[in-house]
Amino acid sequence: MADKKIPKATARRLPLYYRYLRFLYEAGKERVSSAKLSEAVKVDSATIRRDFSYFGALGKRGYGYDVEALMNFFSKTLNQDRLTNVALIGVGNLGQALLNYNFRRNNNIRISAGFDVKDDLIGTIHQGVPIYDINEMVDQLEMQQIDVAILTVPSEIAQEMADKLVKGGVRGIMNFTPIRVTVPKEVRVHNVDLTNELQTLIYFINYYQDFDQKTEPEEDDNPLNDLFYNE
Amino acid sequence: MADKKIPKATARRLPLYYRYLRFLYEAGKERVSSAKLSEAVKVDSATIRRDFSYFGALGKRGYGYDVEALMNFFSKTLNQDRLTNVALIGVGNLGQALLNYNFRRNNNIRISAGFDVKDDLIGTIHQGVPIYDINEMVDQLEMQQIDVAILTVPSEIAQEMADKLVKGGVRGIMNFTPIRVTVPKEVRVHNVDLTNELQTLIYFINYYQDFDQKTEPEEDDNPLNDLFYNE
DNA sequence: GAATATTATTGAAATATTTAACAAATTCAG
DNA sequence: CTGAATTTGTTAAATATTTCAATAATATTC
């Protein structure tokens, strides 16, 4: 099925489309146009149409897109038609929050195993998810055929854990640590770096000026105060 | 450097560079090359040099970059030389995890106020952070001069809370809800959508063979990469 | 059923970003 | 002091992504 070349930027928007289509479906809507979709997901309608067109002709001219059909198409495309089990490595604060987050509720994704080093966690069940000793990780990953993991461990052991994950056959890692781990090229890592995100946001609000607002940058000794960003 | 624009992609990498420079500084390193940096942050060295060059000539040919000087430069650039107070809207599971996350430890960012609707939370202090009634939000935001907020509320009230944040003068919102909120264009929103991230990751491991780990998010980035900007 | 309005599809143009290549500057060894 | 080795800064080329514009198909209206 991995035949066509879908741009990565497009791939990243698919879940967004899927989610809104489900919302429309549940609201009883039968059709939707790229313009309407654009409003909800805040992506230019031309981009949406272009994105969809990579998958073939999904809509009807003069009509728009059939909500149910499109939803089902994306469901398959995003593997939402079968359950994906995910491992949680590191059951600390963030890890436990993610357990509670419950991806399952609206998606066919669930955290099915947790791993930690702490004795008081090992052997317990959190939110219905059993927590194993990290030493059993490679075996359990193989046995349970898990191929996606969420990494929420201290930075110091991030690489070591990534190595174990690879050994256990994991093909995708959602990395919440600030460390850029090294893995074989067939393993995919998505970094979610909360501190980075905040810093970038702060940078943007301080140095981005909206041309439409015609605001002048403040005068100070920072060499960057005359930088502008174009949206 | 004057009247040059910093590409958004570059801006998103700045925190990454900054973090590693601090690591090098603490490890006592005095100089670093773009090649060495590249290895750690997993960004092509040409891209790194290109990124730096937007800010002027920060290095020396044949030598590399002075760790301390560069670190200090980025510290200023990223506003790390002064404390940024951030509000947390919604002190649920994820919100509490973020309180514990403690951005402060390694960065000049701290959550200084929390807001919630729950009576048993209002008036309490979590991780040293006072939790206020959401009804006081607009006033408190103004009074405390907070201009960045983290939004971790149920989807149903995401837009309503965003409106309040705007009213309270907030200029940057890190949005953990799956809703794409509508705000005036001078307010910046970074979306961190955990379910999206997982779905995209799953899509990638199923449909892409060739993983080029160099480009991210948000993104994700972004992460959440979908990191993902209200552009 | 013809006329008009909608709206997807598609090729092309415009932007944005990454990568490659190399001259210029500097270090370093001897 | 000289030449070889490094490594940046920068121009240009290559990729990737978004947006535009022309066209074609379908629906809706009268």
Using a CB–CB cutoff of 8 Å, tell me whether B51 touches chain A: no
Mean pLDDT of chain B: 88
Is A90 annotated as a binding-site member? Answer: yes
* Start-to-end Cα distance in chain A: 35
pLDDT on residue B105: 77
CA separation (Å) from A82 to A20, A108, B118, B182?
19, 6, 37, 33
Q: Does A183 touch chain B (CB under 8 A)?
A: yes
B180 contacts chain A (CB < 8 A): yes
Check CB contact under 8 Å for B192 and A192: yes
Cα(A188)–Cα(B18) distance, integer angstroms = 24
* Residue B50 confidence (pLDDT): 97
pLDDT, residue A88, reads 98
Share of residues in chain B with pLDDT > 90 (%): 81
Which residues of chain A are under the pLDDT cut of 70? 1-4, 209-231
B107: Cβ under 7 Å from strand D? no
Mutation site, B55, B200, B212, B221, interface A, largest A CB count within 10 A: B200
Return the HEC string of chain B.
CCCCCCCHHHHHHHHHHHHHHHHHHHCCCCEECHHHHHHHHCCCHHHHHHHHHCCCCCCECCCEEEHHHHHHHHHHHCCCCCCEEEEEECCCHHHHHHHHHCHHHHCCEEEEEEEECCCCCCCCEECCEEEEEHHHHHHHHHHCCCCEEEECCCHHHHHHHHHHHHHCCCCEEEECCCCCCCCCCCCEEEECCHHHHHHHHHHHHHHCCCCCCCCCCEEEEHHHHCCEECC
**pLDDT, tens digit, 9 for 90 and up, residues B58-99:** 999 999 999 999 999 999 999 999 999 999 999 999 999 999
Q: Is the pLDDT of residue B193 over 70?
A: yes
Condensed to tens digits (0 to 9), the pLDDT of residues A128-172 reads 999 999 999 999 999 999 999 999 999 999 999 999 999 999 999
Q: What is the Cα–Cα distance from B44 to B55, expressed in whole angstroms?
A: 18
Where is pLDDT greater, at B226 or B175? B175
Report the pLDDT averaged over residues B213-225: 34
Interacting residues of B110 by C-beta distance below 8 A, sequence separation 6+: B83, B84, B85, B86, B103, B104
CB of B28 within 7 Å of some strand D atom: no
Q: Report the distance separating Cα B61 and Cα A226, nearest Å.
A: 27
- What domains lie within chain B, and their CATH numbers? 8-78 (1.10.10.10), 84-195 (3.40.50.720)
CB contact set of A203 (below 8 Å; sequence gap of 6+):
B11, B14, B15, B77, B78, B79
Q: Judge if the beta carbon of A62 is closer than 7 A to nucleic acid strand D.
A: yes
The per-residue pLDDT for A226 is: 28
Please check the confidence at residue B216 and state whether its pLDDT lies above 70: no
Q: Tokens standing for B225? A: 């990469």
Least confident of A17-26, A221-230, B112-121, B198-207: A221-230
**Span CA (A7) to C1' (C6), Å:** 28
Instruction: Quote the distance between the C-alpha of residue A14 and its chain's center.
Output: 11
pLDDT bin (cut points 50, 70, 90) of residue B210 is: low
Question: How far is Cα A107 from Cα A131, in angstroms, rounded to an integer?
Answer: 22
Take residue B117 and report the two structure tokens written for it. Answer: 């609707």
Give the separation between CA A14 and CA A125, rounded to whole angstroms. Answer: 33
pLDDT tens profile B123-171? 999 999 999 999 999 999 999 999 999 999 999 999 999 999 999 999 9
